[in-house]
């Protein structure tokens, strides 16, 4: 504790590296509490007012601890700030020989499989996406992390990104022919080897969900977990431990089914027709639901004009697409993946 006090004092280690740093009693007290919790492997909930400097208050004891630490943030913006600015500054101040890795969800990394598919199909809604795709290809071949946030010349909301990244649903996993080039796998390897791993709440709960299901795990075992912006945890947890069907999931299934069908089942026209039918059903349900400003109980939602009929039609067209996918699933791993996703969505829609 005395060593920590020298770090946070005026003229201490942090003041030598961070311009304008000054001693704050609340910051020092929080750092003490964090260090004690890490040493005792106990729980700590800390609320710090604006200006306390909570980031340094938890980073210093975390970097000085002898165990592996996971730091989870509420947003990817804060995650990038921690990894690129705050942790390097504290590490320099403490001269701590720790290795640090950042790990995000797979949708944040370029997927070589989907990148190649997007290039071969060339189906873009905007001509700017053609130029963006060329930039993404150059970046993917440059030997970097594959994190799309590092490619500033392509806007984060560009329509090309969903075409060249993967999701938990459409990742082919061990069956992917591009597994050795996978940026997600490389990021996980770095995380396994690092002393400190920076993640976000979505990824943390995705890992918890997968472990509970006995499927796999995304994050390495650790000695301590620090949640920054912990007030967001309940909403994030509900996304993974609730059950959801979204129009986005259904539209993505249609998009992937059409794309995989063109590559591996181009002679089977009913697959394209079924995907188009489901897309129309999704649009019809959106129109029937109208503008919903807040979450509605199921009974109230179904009482809106046309919603029940539109939902029934959607379920029927989803069954039609699943039947078409099942008949072609053996022709390619991508088609089989779409079929399994379609089945899961159909079961959740029915429930």
pLDDT tens per residue across span 108-125:
999 999 999 888 887 776
CB atoms closer than 10 angstroms to residue 95 = 8
pLDDT band at 296 (very low <50, low <70, confident <90, very high): low
Spatial contact of 222 and 207, defined as CB atoms under 8 Å apart: no
Half-sphere exposure of 279 (CA within 13 A, CB side): 14
Q: Is the pLDDT of residue 171 over 60?
A: yes
Q: Is the pLDDT of residue 132 over 70?
A: yes
Above pLDDT 90, what percent of the chain?
60
**Mean pLDDT of the region 288-305:** 70
pLDDT of residue 175: 86
Q: Is the pLDDT of residue 212 over 70?
A: no
Q: Is the pLDDT of residue 2 over 70?
A: no
Residue with the larger pLDDT of the pair 302 and 101: 101
Residue with the larger pLDDT of the pair 345 and 143: 345
Spatial contact of 314 and 279, defined as CB atoms under 8 Å apart: no
Q: Is the pLDDT of residue 306 over 90?
A: no
pLDDT tens digit sequence for 40-69: 999 999 998 888 899 999 999 999 998 999
pLDDT of residue 60: 95
Q: Is 84 helix (H, G, I), strand (E, B) or coil?
A: helix
Residue with the larger pLDDT of the pair 65 and 291: 65
Place of tokens 């071949």: 141
Above pLDDT 70, what percent of the chain?
95
- Cα gap 143→110, rounded to integer Å: 12
pLDDT of residue 39: 93
Q: Strands 224-227 and 69-73, how do they pair?
A: parallel
- Cα gap 309→156, rounded to integer Å: 37
The DSSP annotation for 66-122 comes to SS-EEEEESSHHHHHHIIIIIHHHHHHHHT----EEE---GGGBB-HHHHHHHHHH-
- Cα gap 57→52, rounded to integer Å: 9
Q: Is the pLDDT of residue 293 over 90?
A: no
Q: What is the mean pLDDT of the chain?
A: 89
Spatial contact of 11 and 197, defined as CB atoms under 8 Å apart: no
Q: What are phi and psi of 294, to 5 degrees?
A: -150, 170
Q: Is the pLDDT of residue 292 over 80?
A: no
Q: What are phi and psi of 102, to 5 degrees?
A: -115, 135
The tokens describing 255, both together, are 């998009």
Spatial contact of 236 and 205, defined as CB atoms under 8 Å apart: yes
pLDDT of residue 281: 96
Half-sphere exposure of 240 (CA within 13 A, CB side): 18
pTM for the structure as a whole:
0.72
**Mean pLDDT of the region 165-190:** 88
pLDDT of residue 213: 56
**Mean pLDDT of the region 5-20:** 87
pLDDT tens digit sequence for 316-331: 999 999 999 999 999 9
Q: Is the pLDDT of residue 139 over 70?
A: yes
- Cα gap 272→120, rounded to integer Å: 18
Cα 239 to its chain centre, rounded Å, is 12
- Cα gap 164→265, rounded to integer Å: 21
Torsion sign over Cα 287, 293, 299, 305: negative
- Cα gap 204→215, rounded to integer Å: 15
Residue with the larger pLDDT of the pair 52 and 92: 92
- Cα gap 318→125, rounded to integer Å: 25
What is the DSSP code (8-state) at residue 245?
-
pLDDT of residue 4: 78
pLDDT of residue 331: 93
Q: Is 49 helix (H, G, I), strand (E, B) or coil?
A: coil
């Amino acid at each position: 504790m005395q060593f920590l006090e020298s770090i946070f004092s005026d003229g201490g280690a942090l003041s030598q590296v961070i311009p304008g740093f000054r001693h704050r009693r609340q910051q020092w007290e929080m750092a003490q509490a964090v260090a004690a919790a890490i040493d005792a492997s106990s729980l700590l909930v800390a609320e710090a007012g604006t200006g306390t400097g909570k980031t340094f208050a938890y980073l210093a004891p975390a970097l000085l601890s002898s165990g592996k630490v996971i730091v989870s943030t509420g947003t990817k913006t804060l995650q990038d700030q921690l990894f690129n600015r705050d942790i390097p500054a504290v590490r320099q101040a403490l001269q701590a020989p720790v290795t640090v890795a950042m790990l995000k969800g797979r949708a944040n990394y370029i997927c070589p499989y989907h990148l190649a598919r997007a290039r071969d199909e060339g189906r873009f809604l905007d001509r700017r996406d053609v130029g963006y795709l060329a930039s993404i290809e150059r970046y993917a071949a440059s030997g970097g992390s594959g994190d799309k946030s590092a490619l500033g010349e392509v806007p984060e909301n560009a329509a090309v990104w969903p075409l060249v990244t993967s999701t938990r649903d459409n990742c082919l996993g061990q069956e992917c022919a591009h597994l050795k080039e996978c940026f997600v796998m490389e990021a996980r390897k770095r995380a396994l080897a690092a002393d400190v791993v920076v993640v976000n709440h979505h990824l943390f709960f995705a890992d918890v969900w997968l472990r509970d299901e006995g499927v796999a795990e995304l994050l390495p075992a650790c000695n301590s977990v620090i949640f920054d912006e912990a007030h967001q945890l309940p909403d994030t947890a509900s996304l993974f431990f609730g059950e959801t069907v979204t129009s986005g999931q259904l539209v993505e299934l249609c998009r992937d089914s059409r794309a995989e069908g063109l590559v591996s089942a181009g002679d089977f026209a009913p697959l394209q027709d079924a995907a188009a039918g489901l897309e129309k059903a999704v649009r019809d349900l959106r129109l029937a639901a109208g503008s919903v400003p807040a979450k509605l109980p199921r009974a109230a939602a179904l009482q809106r004009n046309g919603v029940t009929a539109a939902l029934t039609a959607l379920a029927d067209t989803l069954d039609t697409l699943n039947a078409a996918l099942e008949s072609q699933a053996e022709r390619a791993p991508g088609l089989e993946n779409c079929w399994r996703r379609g089945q899961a969505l159909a079961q959740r829609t029915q429930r």
